[in-house]
């Protein structure tokens, strides 16, 4: 049985338009906006970064997190879709060193830490954050499986100068449901490297299987 698909044009016109397909039946879709634009336009896209630089560690992270983002929604509430994670090196030792950003997702039922950072930046110009996230710095967490998320970066070798930074596109490969969390830490070849780290996420109502 053949089926004819039509669409409703947006932009206030609401006129009916035909939807075209390839010979094989695949729909023609035109990417009219940059990826993520429609999701960000909903107004629940946020960033947060730690305000005090913390020393990196020299071994794989276990139970100490530099920063943790908790989803404080009740069951059935919004999930946090992680778009980016990032880090900024504030201080370096007077020696050659390398560092990388690590992350760990904690399961549903993770105990919420104290909210130590309240300032969360809207990615759509919303003036105040009204969600239920908590951001805790320097907390003890469960080792639920850490892994590196960035390539190794070099640091300044001539003294206490910062400037090295990375931003890693997660693009939804981490989804934090209500009462779950995600942690970050930095692993470096020297503990004399201090970093600020942060998250960029979208708060979205998802149908979780």
**Tokens found for residue 100:** 């990388």
What is the structure's pLDDT at 149?
Answer: 97
Q: Is 162 exposed, middle or buried (0-12, 13-18, 19+ CB in 10 A)?
A: middle
Contacts of residue 48, defined as CB under 8 A and 6 or more positions apart, other chains included, come to 69, 117, 119, 120, 121, 133, 135, 198, 199
146 in a structural domain: yes
- Residue found under tokens 């390839």: 22
> What per-residue confidence (pLDDT) applies to 2?
65
Give the pLDDT confidence score for residue 94 in this predicted structure. Answer: 67
Q: Is residue 24 part of a domain?
A: no
How confident is the model at residue 31, as a pLDDT?
72
Residue 80 is assigned to a structural domain of this protein:
yes
Q: Does a structural domain hold residue 185? A: yes
Token pair 């070099």 is found at: 154
153-166, pLDDT tens digit by residue? 988 777 677 778 99
In-domain check, residue 209:
no
Three-class SS state of 45: strand
DSSP state at residue 37: H
Kindly state whether residue 173 falls inside one of the protein's structural domains. Answer: yes
**Mean pLDDT on 32-40:** 84
Query: Does residue 16 lie in a domain region?
Result: no
Distance CA 79, CA 82 (A): 9
Question: Which range marks the domain in which residue 99 is found?
Answer: 35-204
Percent of the residues in the chain that have a pLDDT greater than 70, as a whole number: 94
Residue 1 vs residue 53, higher pLDDT: 53
Establish if 11 belongs to a structural domain.
no
- When divided into structural domains, the chain yields a total of 1
**CATH number for the domain harbouring residue 78:** 2.60.120
């Amino acid at each position: 049985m053949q089926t004819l698909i039509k669409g409703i044009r947006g932009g206030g016109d609401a006129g009916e338009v035909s939807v075209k397909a390839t010979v094989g039946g695949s729909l023609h879709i035109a990417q009219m906006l940059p990826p993520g634009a429609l999701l960000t336009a909903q107004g629940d896209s946020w960033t947060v970064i730690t305000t005090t630089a913390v020393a990196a560690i020299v071994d794989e992270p276990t139970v100490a997190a530099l920063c943790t983002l908790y989803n404080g929604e009740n069951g059935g509430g919004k999930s946090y879709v992680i778009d980016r994670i990032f880090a900024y090196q504030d201080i370096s030792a007077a020696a050659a060193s390398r560092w990388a950003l690590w992350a760990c997702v904690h399961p549903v039922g993770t105990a919420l830490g104290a909210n130590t950072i309240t300032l969360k930046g809207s990615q759509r110009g919303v003036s105040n954050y009204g969600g239920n996230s908590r951001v805790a710095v320097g907390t003890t967490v469960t080792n639920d499986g850490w892994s590196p998320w960035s390539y190794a970066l070099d640091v300044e070798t001539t003294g206490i100068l910062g400037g090295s930074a990375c931003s890693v596109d997660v693009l939804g490969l981490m989804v934090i449901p209500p009462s779950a969390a995600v942690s970050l830490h930095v692993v470096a070849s020297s503990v004399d490297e201090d970093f600020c780290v942060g998250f960029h996420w979208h708060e979205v109502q998802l149908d979780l299987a």
